[in-house]
């Protein structure tokens, strides 16, 4: 059963706010960097909530796919 979207957004906002504060403390309480701290916290929290990115297609496999396309193209042009 899904919760209320507003509650999820509030939780997310609170997590970002807490992490931005931690970054501010870690960086020596520097003034004028609130936006940078917020954006960095937002990136971290959102990346953690989404999970890892899917693995990239290996280069060798990508080259093989390109070679297949080129081969089919040349066969079609030859006919």
Asked if residue 47 has pLDDT above 90, the reply is yes
Residues 6+ apart with CB under 8 A from 1: none
pTM above 0.85, yes or no: no
**pLDDT beyond 90 at 32:** yes
Write down the pLDDT at residue 63: 64
Sign of torsion, CA 43 47 50 55? Answer: positive
pLDDT at residue number 67: 73
Interaxial angle between packed helices 34-50 and 5-26, expressed in degrees from 0 to 180 and rounded to the nearest 10 = 130
The CA dihedral of 12, 14, 20, 24, to the nearest 10 degrees, is: -170
pLDDT at 1: 39
> Quick one: DSSP state of residue 11?
H
Residue 70 pLDDT > 80: no
């Amino acid at each position: 059963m899904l919760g209320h979207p507003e509650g999820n957004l509030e939780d997310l906002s609170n997590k970002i706010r807490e992490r931005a504060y931690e970054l501010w403390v870690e960086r020596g309480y520097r003034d004028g960097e609130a936006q940078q701290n917020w954006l960095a916290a937002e990136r971290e929290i959102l990346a953690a909530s989404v999970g890892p990115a899917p693995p990239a297609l290996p280069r060798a496999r990508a080259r093989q796919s390109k070679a297949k396309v080129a081969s089919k193209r040349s066969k079609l042009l030859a006919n």
